C-alpha cells in the first residue's frame, strides 16, 4: 500500500495528513515549528512505513525553511506545490469553497496520490550548489536594494541639490561611488558645498580611497559646487540635508553588503564542478554565472530536455489557441531571477561573441524588437548551455555559431 503525505505549513505550526492509494485518511497531526515538532513528524512517517529505501513522498507549499531541510534528508522526494495550484485542487473536492489548515494538508496529500506524475520534486542539488544559490541571490537582492535607494537619493537631490547630480554625472555608478558618498557626508547641502575649499575636497576624495588625479578632480568639483544654482530656503535646505544623510546611511550599508556578497560569490563559485563550463560561455562572468547556476541548480536530471529549461527561464514563447484563434506570446509565468540574468547575459554576449551578435542582428532584420531579439538569443544560448552541462563540454564558438562556409562544407 502506497502512502502519501501532505503538510500545510505556517509560521508557528503545521498540519500533517497521511493518505493511502485509495484516498483514505490514515493519520493527521498538528505539530509545532521546532525540533520537537519535526521529531513527531518523522516518527509519524516511520510509523506508516517510511524507511531509507522506501521513503514516503511529501507535498508542501514551500521549497525553503528548516522543515523542508529536515524532510529532504535521505532519498525522500519533496514536492513544492504552487499555492495557486493547490487552491485549484481544493475546488475539486468542495464546491462551498470552505478552507481549513487540516483540509489543505489533505488536499496536498491527494495531489500526490492522483497527479504526482504531473509535479516535479525538489532538485537534488549539492550543498555547494545551495551555498552558491544563497550567496548569488543575496548579492542580487543587495544590488536591487542599492539601486532602489540610489534612485530615492537621486530624486531627493534633484529637489534641492542639483549641483551634486551634475558633479557626479561623469562618474561610473554615480551616487554609489565611495567618493560621492564621502562628499555628500562632508557637504549635505549646497550652501555647505559652496564653502568647501580645495583642501577639504581633496581630503574627502582621499578618505574615499582615490589615489590619482586628486587635485584636478578637486578643482572640477569645486567649480560645480560654486556654480549658480537655485536654492531652497535655508531652513528647508537644512531639513532636506538631514533627510539626505538618512538615505545616505542606507545606501552605504547596501553598497557594503553588495560588495561583501560579491566577494563571497567569487570565492565559492569557482570551486563548483560546473563553473568551468558556465564561464566558458561568452558574456558570463563569475557573478552572472553564479546567478545562472543558482537558478538552474547542479542536478542535471532536473530538466528532461532543453525545452523544459527554456520554459522555466521564460525565454521560449508560449502558444495560446482556442478554436480558430491562436497567438504566440512571451511567457509571464517563469523564474524571474533567471530571466533577468538572461537579459544581462544576452546583452553582454553581443560584444563577447561574433556569432551571438550576428544572430541578434538577424532577428532585428527579421522585424524583432530589441527585447524580443535578446530573448531569442538567450533562448538559443540556454539550449547550448544545457547541452554543455549534460555532456561536460566547454563552449565552442564555431560549433555554436557555424560560419556559412563551414555549413556548406
Average pLDDT in the 77-97 region?
85
pLDDT at residue number 148: 95
Average pLDDT in the 22-31 region?
92
pLDDT at residue number 383: 95
Phi, psi of 224 (to 5 degrees): -65, -40
Average pLDDT in the 94-113 region?
86
User: Rounded to whole angstroms, how far apart are CA atoms 366 and 362?
Assistant: 6
Residue 176: burial class (beta carbons within 10 Å; 0-12, 13-18, 19+): buried
pLDDT at 406 over 50: no
Each residue of 116-141: pLDDT tens digit? 998 889 998 999 999 999 999 999 99
Q: What percent of the chain has pLDDT over 90?
A: 75
Residue appearing with cell numbers 535578446: 374
User: Rounded to whole angstroms, how far apart are CA atoms 267 and 245?
Assistant: 33
Average pLDDT in the 83-95 region?
83
User: Rounded to whole angstroms, how far apart are CA atoms 395 and 409?
Assistant: 22
Count of Cβ atoms closer than 10 Å to residue 93 Cβ: 11
User: What is the domain partition of the chain in residue ranges?
Assistant: 3-118, 131-267, 275-408
* Residues 106, 17 contacting (CB under 8 angstroms): yes
Count of Cβ atoms closer than 10 Å to residue 159 Cβ: 13
pLDDT at 115 over 50: yes
pLDDT at 408 over 60: no
pLDDT at 409 over 50: no
* Nearest in space to 294 (alpha carbons), one of 132, 128, 96, 85: 132
Average pLDDT in the 67-90 region?
89
Query: What pTM was estimated for this model as a whole?
Result: 0.85
pLDDT at residue number 332: 83
Q: What percent of the chain has pLDDT over 70?
A: 99
Q: Tell me the C-alpha to C-alpha distance, in Å, between residue 370 and each of 293, 325, 352, 365, 381.
A: 26, 27, 18, 11, 17
pLDDT at 333 over 50: yes
Average pLDDT in the 394-403 region?
89
Average pLDDT in the 161-189 region?
91
Q: Helix, strand or coil for residue 314?
A: coil
Each residue of 211-264: pLDDT tens digit? 888 999 999 999 999 999 989 999 999 999 999 999 999 999 999 999 999 999
Longest dimension (CA), the chain: 84
Whole-number average pLDDT of the chain: 91
User: Homologous superfamily of 3-118 in CATH?
Assistant: ATPase, nucleotide binding domain (3.30.420.40)
User: Rounded to whole angstroms, how far apart are CA atoms 101 and 122?
Assistant: 23
* Nearest in space to 18 (alpha carbons), one of 8, 32, 4: 4
* Residues 20, 2 contacting (CB under 8 angstroms): yes
* Residues 48, 26 contacting (CB under 8 angstroms): yes
Which alpha helices (H) appear in 61-208, and where do they start and end? 66-71, 83-93, 101-115, 127-160, 162-168, 178-186, 190-194, 198-207
Confidence of residue 404 (pLDDT cuts 50, 70, 90): low
Q: For 24-68, give the secondary structure using H, E and C.
A: CEEEEEEEECCHHHHHHHHHHHHHCCCCCCCCCCEEECCCCCHHH
Amino acid at each position: 500500500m502506497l502512502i502519501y503525505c501532505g503538510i500545510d505549513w505556517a509560521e508557528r505550526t503545521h498540519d500533517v495528513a497521511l493518505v493511502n492509494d485509495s484516498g483514505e485518511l490514515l493519520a493527521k497531526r498538528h505539530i509545532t515549528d521546532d525540533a520537537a515538532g519535526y521529531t513527531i513528524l518523522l516518527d509519524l512517517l516511520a510509523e506508516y512505513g517510511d524507511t531509507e529505501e522506501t521513503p514516503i513522498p511529501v507535498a508542501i507549499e514551500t521549497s525553503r525553511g528548516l522543515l523542508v531541510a529536515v524532510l529532504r534528508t535521505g532519498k525522500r522526494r519533496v514536492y513544492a506545490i504552487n499555492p495557486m495550484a493547490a487552491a485549484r485542487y481544493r475546488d475539486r473536492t468542495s464546491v462551498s469553497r470552505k478552507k481549513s489548515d487540516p483540509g489543505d494538508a489533505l488536499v496536498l496529500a491527494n495531489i500526490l496520490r492522483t497527479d504526482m506524475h504531473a509535479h516535479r520534486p525538489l532538485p537534488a542539488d549539492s550543498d555547494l550548489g545551495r551555498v552558491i544559490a544563497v550567496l548569488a541571490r543575496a548579492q542580487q537582492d543587495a544590488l536591487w536594494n542599492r539601486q532602489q535607494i540610489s534612485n530615492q537619493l537621486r530624486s531627493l537631490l534633484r529637489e534641492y541639490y542639483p549641483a551634486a547630480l551634475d558633479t557626479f554625472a561623469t562618474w561610473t555608478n554615480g551616487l554609489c561611488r565611495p567618493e560621492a558618498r564621502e562628499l555628500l557626508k562632508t557637504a549635505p547641502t549646497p550652501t555647505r558645498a559652496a564653502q568647501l575649499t580645495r583642501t577639504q575636497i581633496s581630503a574627502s576624495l582621499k578618505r574615499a580611497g582615490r589615489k590619482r588625479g586628486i587635485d584636478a578632480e578637486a578643482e572640477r568639483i569645486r567649480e560645480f559646487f560654486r556654480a549658480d544654482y537655485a536654492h531652497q530656503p535655508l531652513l528647508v535646505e537644512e531639513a532636506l540635508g538631514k533627510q539626505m544623510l538618512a538615505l545616505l546611511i542606507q545606501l552605504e550599508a547596501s553598497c557594503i553588503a553588495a560588495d561583501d556578497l560579491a566577494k563571497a560569490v567569487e570565492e565559492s563559485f569557482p570551486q563548483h564542478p560546473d563553473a568551468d563550463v558556465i564561464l566558458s560561455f561568452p558574456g558570463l562572468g563569475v557573478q552572472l554565472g553564479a546567478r545562472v547556476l543558482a537558478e538552474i541548480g547542479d542536478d542535471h536530471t532536473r530538466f528532461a530536455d532543453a525545452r523544459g529549461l527554456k520554459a522555466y527561464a521564460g525565454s521560449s514563447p508560449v502558444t495560446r489557441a482556442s478554436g480558430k484563434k491562436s497567438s504566440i506570446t512571451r511567457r509571464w509565468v517563469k523564474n524571474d531571477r533567471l530571466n533577468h540574468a538572461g537579459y544581462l547575459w544576452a546583452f553582454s554576449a553581443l560584444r563577447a561573441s561574433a556569432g551571438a551578435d550576428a544572430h541578434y542582428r538577424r532577428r532585428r532584420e527579421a522585424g524583432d524588437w530589441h527585447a524580443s531579439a535578446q530573448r531569442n538569443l538567450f533562448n538559443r544560448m540556454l539550449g547550448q548551455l544545457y547541452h554543455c552541462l549534460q555532456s561536460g563540454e566547454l563552449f565552442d564558438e564555431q560549433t555554436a555559431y557555424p560560419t556559412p562556409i563551414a555549413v556548406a562544407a
